[in-house]
Structure 1
């Protein structure tokens, strides 16, 4: 980009004069081949035009001394040395008999650097990109490079049409101001993401894999739909990982073509890919070369079986199991090398784990740099190795992934280099911090609680200690909630999460004839018990009061509810646990997953009540038709066994739309219709099965809208140990209700929304239906 000079005519005249002088000098010095052999000896060297740079420095750079005999070629070299020094705007060398006259025009001093036209990127960020510095010599080449760096920064923001023009303004005393005039342009949005060569998976499915997205309805809120060239390599790796995890080991991206629209405000991106054939595991064996190692015992811990679709992550999991077993057996420096043998005829990959004794290399130290907020120990605890342990390259790679997954850093590089000896390595960790806190203001709407506002503060790296702190306040027409949630993910340096929850809620629901106040204090511990299993243990102190509504004196509660209101505020003190088994992240098949949860709470350690509350859930998900359609099934239930105290509706199970669709909260189950009331009482037992299919609707992918159908069947029953004196109870025995419906799923910047329209196929006459609902979508 050319630099525009102020007072252009004056500068041009100076440059023309200097150029003419140089041309005459060179022509006089080198008239022909004979002149190149001519020798010069100057008794005097006169230097003109210099102000900041002294004569000696100029002579040193020129390489010519007084009384020295020089050739015409050497004079030309002296001219080039001065011209290329970056100190002078122009240079002229002219022999005058025994005198050499060197005339220079010094480059000006850079007085001020400023930016004009920038709104998207602040001055402070731009200053960090450029090399031109105030009160130093102005360098036109550096200014051009700075303009290119600024333009690249805008390009990384998706503004490919941005232009940057460096402009120089002359000041007195040989000073200049440098102004970067910036035309930011508009974001270049990705109008279309397409794929060429894909036969197994549709464009729609592959778009969900990429981090970059097409421009959609909320393009002003989502920046992932802007084209950033640096993201292309990351997206290519995501595609490759997706295919390889599904057995397509030969998949490759041949080319990525990006074509600008005619208006230069959009781009069409096409990935040219080759899928290849899908491979499965063939034979899986183990080859042991380590003396004293029981190979048979190690073969038993391998999980991969022949016929399973090949995935590199499954091989990594087997290697991790072998290495963990070796540590338990006291075998150091074990190296596990997977040897893959192709069987193209059967489309199978035979895997042999070769066990050898590796070199005796130890971790000398772990050096951490770049963490200005996060404490060193937060990063160090992601390593299973410490100083002095045997060096395991695979473990170092996994530690790097864990550090990146923390979400505390914009970038994290982990590399190993030789230490003080050939038997030691130093692990270098270089991180770049990023903001981890957020203050959120928002609104909410639900069928159950009405319209409300929410304020929350979330800090995922509290005081640089890796702890999570969440403070929240939410108010709605029918509910108000204040909460504090604190989590220490590595309690005492172990893989144990220590949690503390304090929650206060008030409800004024239109679905009940009473208000509630609830206070919960709950410390907890959560830790792994197997590869896919985790256990959570907790203590809960819970106080609940059912409150009669003063604003409705003419409203009469049912006899059962009035008995429970009269009991006043009651406290329960309980210990409990929840076991979770989840295969969605480490399962053998990435197209399916299973979740199992089982938990119990035992109350009676003080407090007013004594009971055992049990809940269980099992859920599965499977993607079919090349992962275009997702099938989900969930079965859950609960049982409350009451021993002593007052068994109230707020203690029993009450089913809402998140468990049983098609009905209001408390819309099914036992009810008390005495005194003209119609109060839901909940139940001690419930069982619900949910079945759902999600599929595309044929709408453009960028809309983020898909459809679904569902079928729910469930029942809520049993009022054992409940004081129903004077009540008129219906539905205590219970019956299974059946509901069918359709859903619309919409991924918005505010969160994934789900719209349900349902119809009850079988219900009781006293049930309360809710045929339409809007909810924040959740996964099983």
Structure 2
């Protein structure tokens, strides 16, 4: 194809490049061009410029000549120098459309010869087994029916290799190969050599004195290679994970008062065989500081300092923690808002006392800038409704801007579990006195269908299928369905929770369940159904209150064994029974705040009051208390717990389906229903566990490492349980002529050891126990195992 250009010039300049790349200009060609130019033109200045009457474009098949000419950038009648011809060549090459380019002046004609890159027909992956094609495809920028670009193909290969590096396969190699097809098309194949996993053989910490390597390794997200190295991926070396581990260590020490803690370096050395890493964290712990004097000050006349000082919960002598300071700041700022004080900010002023190893904290209440929130913009949520994200903010449009409140809202958004990432930033709004809060989220799957198996010494083997959705229809609601079957029990459940009922911080729940038992430890079967709506709301930071209504159905059926006692037979003759009740549970849980990393307390008190219809009137009370702490540099966990309950019927009598029957998860060392009142007759082989109207269990236990590598997740424990089940009504006792044993309180004592394994299949606990004190007809149990698995 030839295009006419005004002008003339006998100068001939040639540029020829192999494979689309060549630096510089041929000296010989340039010499010829300059010599001819000097002969033809009157002076040196004119020798640097020339023009062509025609342009001929050769070799193009798909690319239009006009497109190539536009890349060259040579206008009609334009005087062209040798340097400008070189620039035209560079622009054509930079288009990425051509494998080779030649620019050859031939008299009055400029010849542009090109060899086009082929078109990609298909893209394929070969040799990949660890990463599927569907996961590799998004990493590749090359596309079918587009012009092949070798630079892009090499970048694609590097991106695929980086994906394997993230899995610890640093020896992975990726090579792009071309298979030629007709019509200047090629198949682009990425040949992949995956290589083996480069595991972390050892993690060492140097410079630590207060905490052992074992304790600190439990903090890290990166783990050492262990028995399950083929399954656990946290034992592979990932640079980003190491960077995150640095922050985890920093937070761990900071929350324990080590304000001078520093990580001086992290060394990752590859073994000579290139099959393992040795990672070493070099740290400087410094000294542990405690809180000194805690005061409140302000120069604002409207602030009553005494009121704010009385709201402080920090006490001198407690181990210093930045999170506790943040918690107090949030508390004081909320108090300021309640008192109608706007734009009041709390600035913590910390004074260090190296002699006493204390940090004095003075909370200074100052006037903040008068800046308002103009609006909150939410992007990236395709399923989750805007209001689900927006309700995590205590701040609304038009409110005073509080950076701390925005950061807390960002943490709540991340804690929802709906998003793979959530970035919250503030920028200037339409005026300097306004800010816009941008929320950018990336959603992740929130639903799951699981098939599982289970085994317990109480219910035997079983199978389970369940469906759960944590963000139902993008509304932030929780929905779950479950079917569980075992050799001795079957259950079906439905649960629904709306966490922000009627636009308030109130969780509405609805539960439906039905279960049938084929008791291993009794000669009768039971069936129970339950309908329970409830609402739960916070009272303060540590306390919550739950209100509920319960409608329960239960029935006792005979197995035709002929050996059921008079009491169970009488209760079975009553037929199905319905109980209607209202109830509440008040819960105090210091673990909710997470301020003390080593200790926590849980207190629960609940009652259900029956009599709103139904077949009986009763009051059922349950209490639970748990206290836990860590000692010996957090190597040993000590736990004490108490559980108790009382049921009192004012109309009708309790039945075995209502009374307390303890399982081995509440009182170790005995079978389900193995202790408490029993109807017994040696002559008729009657031996029925009746349950009791009262129960109490006190447990003490300690958990500690066994010296095994912590990546195995195996630890040991010892426990001591004291408990009893007792109490039956007079009318129940009068319904039998057989002996009824153990109706009075009689404490049982059990001591044992445990092996705990935090396996990938779920928590596994093996209890080996011995009853130190028991009654003659109790059913003890020396070994118990509880495991749940999904596959």
TM-score, structure 1 normalization: 0.93
Q: Is the 8 A contact 2:679 2:741 kept in 1?
A: yes
Give the match for residue 226 of structure 2. 216
1:692 aligns with 2:701: yes
Taking the aligned partners of 1:338 and 1:702, their CA distance within structure 2 comes to 40
Query: Aligned to 1:243, what secondary structure does the other structure show?
Result: helix
- Give 1:31 shift: 8.0
Give the match for residue 216 of structure 2. 206
The correspondence of residues 27-46 of structure 1 with structure 2, limited to 5 A, is 27-29=28-30, 38-44=47-53, 45-46=55-56
1:677 aligns with one of 686, 690, 696: 686
1:750 aligns with one of 751, 757, 761: 761
Taking the aligned partners of 1:212 and 1:274, their CA distance within structure 2 comes to 20
Aligned in 2, Cα 1:98/1:66: closer, same or farther, shift over 3 Å?
Answer: farther
Give the match for residue 324 of structure 2. 314
Aligned in 2, Cα 1:666/1:79: closer, same or farther, shift over 3 Å?
Answer: same
2:611 aligns with one of 578, 590, 604: 604
- Give 1:18 shift: 7.7
1:413 aligns with 2:423: yes
Give the match for residue 345 of structure 2. 335
- Note the alpha carbon deviations across 1:29-65, whole angstroms, 9 max, x for none: 1589999985242334444333444455444544545
- Give 1:21 shift: 10
- Give 1:466 shift: 1.0
1:637 aligns with 2:648: no
Aligned in 2, Cα 1:400/1:23: closer, same or farther, shift over 3 Å?
Answer: closer
The correspondence of residues 484-495 of structure 1 with structure 2, limited to 5 A, is 484-495=494-505
Give the match for residue 552 of structure 2. 542
- Note the alpha carbon deviations across 1:500-522, whole angstroms, 9 max, x for none: 11111111112122110111111
2:315 aligns with one of 289, 301, 305: 305
Aligned in 2, Cα 1:776/1:317: closer, same or farther, shift over 3 Å?
Answer: farther
- Give 1:531 shift: 1.1
Give the match for residue 3 of structure 1. none
The correspondence of residues 415-434 of structure 1 with structure 2, limited to 5 A, is 415-434=425-444
- Note the alpha carbon deviations across 1:202-237, whole angstroms, 9 max, x for none: 122112212233333333443333332222222222
Query: Aligned to 1:572, what secondary structure does the other structure show?
Result: strand
Q: Is the 8 A contact 1:558 1:676 kept in 2?
A: no
2:597 aligns with one of 554, 577, 590: 590
Taking the aligned partners of 2:21 and 2:551, their CA distance within structure 1 comes to 93
- Give 1:768 shift: 1.3
Q: Is the 8 A contact 1:21 1:92 kept in 2?
A: no
Give the match for residue 729 of structure 2. 720
Aligned in 2, Cα 1:92/1:202: closer, same or farther, shift over 3 Å?
Answer: same
- Note the alpha carbon deviations across 1:375-414, whole angstroms, 9 max, x for none: 1111111111122222111111111111111111111111
Give the match for residue 282 of structure 1. 292
2:354 aligns with one of 344, 353, 371: 344
1:357 aligns with 2:367: yes
Aligned in 2, Cα 1:88/1:71: closer, same or farther, shift over 3 Å?
Answer: same
1:731 aligns with 2:738: no
Query: Aligned to 1:770, what secondary structure does the other structure show?
Result: coil
- Give 1:579 shift: 0.8
1:622 aligns with one of 612, 621, 629: 629
Structure 2: which 5+ residue stretches go unaligned?
Answer: 1-15, 39-43
Taking the aligned partners of 1:303 and 1:400, their CA distance within structure 2 comes to 25
Give the match for residue 245 of structure 1. 255
RMSD: 2.5
- Note the alpha carbon deviations across 1:357-377, whole angstroms, 9 max, x for none: 212222222111111111111
- Note the alpha carbon deviations across 1:521-559, whole angstroms, 9 max, x for none: 111111111110111111111111111112x2xx32122
The correspondence of residues 138-157 of structure 1 with structure 2, limited to 5 A, is 138-157=148-167
Taking the aligned partners of 1:656 and 1:19, their CA distance within structure 2 comes to 78
1:704 aligns with one of 707, 713, 719: 713
Taking the aligned partners of 1:443 and 1:537, their CA distance within structure 2 comes to 34
Give the match for residue 647 of structure 1. 654
- Give 1:118 shift: 2.7
TM-score, structure 2 normalization: 0.91
Of 26-35 and 598-607, deviating more is: 26-35
- Give 1:742 shift: 0.5
Query: Aligned to 1:607, what secondary structure does the other structure show?
Result: coil
Of 662-671 and 54-63, deviating more is: 54-63
How many aligned residue pairs are there?
Answer: 761
Give the match for residue 388 of structure 2. 378
- Note the alpha carbon deviations across 1:558-584, whole angstroms, 9 max, x for none: 222222222221111111111111112
1:525 aligns with 2:535: yes
1:112 aligns with 2:112: no
Taking the aligned partners of 1:434 and 1:23, their CA distance within structure 2 comes to 52
Taking the aligned partners of 1:749 and 1:422, their CA distance within structure 2 comes to 53
Give the match for residue 770 of structure 1. 781
- Give 1:353 shift: 1.5
Taking the aligned partners of 1:57 and 1:571, their CA distance within structure 2 comes to 84
Of 39-48 and 228-237, deviating more is: 39-48
Q: Is the 8 A contact 1:191 1:215 kept in 2?
A: yes
Query: Aligned to 1:540, what secondary structure does the other structure show?
Result: strand
- Note the alpha carbon deviations across 1:181-206, whole angstroms, 9 max, x for none: 12223333333232222221112211
Taking the aligned partners of 2:706 and 2:279, their CA distance within structure 1 comes to 23
